Structure formats: C-alpha cells, structure tokens
Structure 1
Amino acid sequence: MDFPETGSVIEIQSYKHDGTLHRIWEETFILQGTSKEIIGGNDRIRVHEANGRVWRTREPAICYFHRDKWFNTIGMVRSDGIHFYCNVGTPFVWDEEALKYIDYDLDIKVFPDMTYHVLDEDEYELHKRKMNYPPELEQKISEGLEELQSWIYQRKGPFEPSFVEKWYERFLFFR
C-alpha cells in the first residue's frame, strides 16, 4: 500500500536535501489515508530533533499532506483559534516505516485571522548555497511557496474555515 491506512498510528519524518534526518514526530493518528491525501491528528506528542533535543507539542494538531503538493500543513487547535505552521517541502512518500518528506526550510506561520508570515528565508538561502540546489528544485520550491500562499488567501484545502474543526472532532472521537 502506498499510503497509511485510516485508523493507523504512524511516525512522520522530515529530512534535509542532503539526506540527513531533520525531525521525527511520534504517534500521529491517521484520520484519512488515500493515495493523494493524508490527514492526521495528534496531541502532545514527542518530537525528536536531529541535534538530539526531544520536546512535546503543546496542543492538538491536524496535519495535512498531499502527494502532489510541495508543502504540508499543521493546524494547531488553541484557545484563541486555529494557528497553522506550514512547511515547504517535497510531496510525501510512505514506505511502511513512516511518512517522509524533505523539508526545504521555508515555512509560513498563519494566524487565526489568516494573516501570515513567511519564515526562515535566510536558512533557505544558506542551505540552497551549501547543498547546491539545482534550478529545477528551486523552481519547485518557489511554486510550492506560491501555491501555499494562494491556498491561504483562498482559504482552500486545510485552510477552509471548518476543515481543522471537522477533523479535530473525528480525532477526539477515535482517541
């Protein structure tokens, strides 16, 4: 199967362009697994950083991955509304061990009023030079960032007003 089954609990792993492990999220519950989209939920899970640091997330979150999109999103359920942390990276792959993607540093933090900030542009520029990203890759990353910003503006996909709430209710039901 090329995607995790609905109802399974998986690990999510992000890597850097050079193949080094970047971060691992433990125990994400798959709310919907199809060949195109993965929607998962988690709450206060352990996260392992490449430098050995381990920490816990602070709130429930709904994660969205798409097989064709160069980004993924994490909708965090907080008392003042839904906050998003979005990663620009490769589309996901599933290999029975974990859901995996390459993180290309550029992130977008989205606030409940749907305003947002692009983050880590300096880190992206540093890694682009250090790891010698080819022009075709830079183009994919740029297109992924633009499409992500368009989805935020249009309130499309995981940014639809009721998306996170709907999936969070399902997460609570299965928990």
Structure 2
Amino acid sequence: MTDFRMVFTKYDGSRHWHETLELLGEDQHGLWIGASSGSVIQRGDEPPITLPQPHVILIPAEPHWWTVVFNGPQETYLEVYCDICTVPVRTDNQVTMVDLDLDVVRRWDGVVEILDEDEFEIHQVTYGYSPEVIASARKAADELAEIVRSGAEPFATAYKPWLAKVS
C-alpha cells in the first residue's frame, strides 16, 4: 500500500480538509485514491473525524476545477461529492488544491444539487477571490452539475471497481 496525501487549503493558505489515503491507480479519468471505512479525515487543526464509509477520490486527468469523492453504498446520504477547487497540483505522493466552497452532490436517490452558494458569496469578500477565480469556480460548478445529472462517466459506473478495492 502506498500512502497518498490529499490536502485542501482555503484561499488564504490556511489548512482545510486533509487526509491520508491509499494510492489505487490511474485510468483515463485520472488518479484514484481511496480509504476503507474507519479512515480518518481532519479539517485544519480540529479533532480528526473517523469516517464510517469506504470512499474513493478522483483527481481528474485533465486540468479541472474540481475533485470528486464517491462514497460506499448508502453509508452516507451522498453517493457523489464534488469539491469545486483550484486545479489540483500533484507532487510525488500528495495532491493539493484550494477549496472554493461550492460543492456538487448527488444523493442516493439521484437528486443533484449545488451546495454552499452562501459560503461562496461570503468568501468572495472574506478571502478576496479574484474575478477569474469567481468565474472559474461558478462555471465549474454549473458544468459539473450538468455532467453529473447526465450520468456520464466517471459518474456512472467507472468508480465502482476502484471503490471495490477499499470496500
């Protein structure tokens, strides 16, 4: 097993969510990392949280303003959780990106929605997002919501073999 770090920061450089996962492999969709149930994730310096569900994360092969988490079968109310962020940067066994608040989710019942619009509005002022960052994040969220709704890969079944490796 090869450990792989996922590190989100906020726009001001402060630590946000971070987690050590297992490097699973790569395919045409990108880099897959994952963790079994009982893995630990932490936000900033807050106490760690133990996750009840296995999950895999896709870092897209093409430069996109998002990453995506696919959760194990109905352990949470969300099947798909997409973080809108700056284009992820990979160095050795770590990927880093800046969280831009907006999230695209698909619930187990198939409903797709964009979350945290209010947080995105507040942080534009608090962190001083540039006009380019605001436009890129908004565009990424809107386009990604449509892709997830359409059922296109990797949001249909491409993630399932990767999730099976950690389930």
Question: 1:54 matched to which residue of 2?
Answer: 48
1:14-53 pair list within 5 angstroms? 14-26=8-20, 28-33=21-26, 37-43=30-36, 44-53=38-47
Question: 2:82 matched to which residue of 1?
Answer: 86
Question: 1:156 matched to which residue of 2?
Answer: 152
Question: 2:99 matched to which residue of 1?
Answer: 103
Distance (Å, rounded) in 1 between the aligned partners of 2:123 and 2:111 = 27
Matched residue type, 2:15: L
Report the CA distance between 1:108 and its aligned residue: 2.2
Any idea what the Cα deviations from partners look like across 1:38-59, whole Å, max 9, x if unmatched?
1112122111211422111110
Describe the SS at the equivalent of 1:47: strand
> Which of the residues 119, 136, 139 maps onto 1:143?
139
Q: Cα gap change, 1:14/1:117 in structure 2, threshold over 3 Å: closer, same or farther? A: same
Given that 1:36 and 1:68 are in contact with CA atoms closer than 8 Å, whether structure 2 keeps it comes out as no
Q: How much identity, in percent, do the aligned residues show?
A: 20
Distance (Å, rounded) in 1 between the aligned partners of 2:45 and 2:78 = 29
Report the CA distance between 1:170 and its aligned residue: 3.5
Given that 1:114 and 1:152 are in contact with CA atoms closer than 8 Å, whether structure 2 keeps it comes out as no
Distance (Å, rounded) in 1 between the aligned partners of 2:47 and 2:118 = 22
> Which of the residues 72, 75, 78 maps onto 2:70?
75
Distance (Å, rounded) in 2 between the aligned partners of 1:118 and 1:82 = 13
Report the CA distance between 1:97 and its aligned residue: 5.3
The count of residues paired between Structure 1 and Structure 2 equals: 164
Q: Provide TM-score, normalisation by structure 2.
A: 0.87
Q: Cα gap change, 1:170/1:17 in structure 2, threshold over 3 Å: closer, same or farther? A: same
Report the CA distance between 1:152 and its aligned residue: 0.5
Stretches of structure 2 that go unaligned for 5 or more consecutive residues are none
Matched residue type, 1:49: R
1:169 aligns with 2:138: no
Matched residue type, 1:74: V
Question: 1:9 matched to which residue of 2?
Answer: 3
Describe the SS at the equivalent of 1:163: coil
Higher helix share: 1
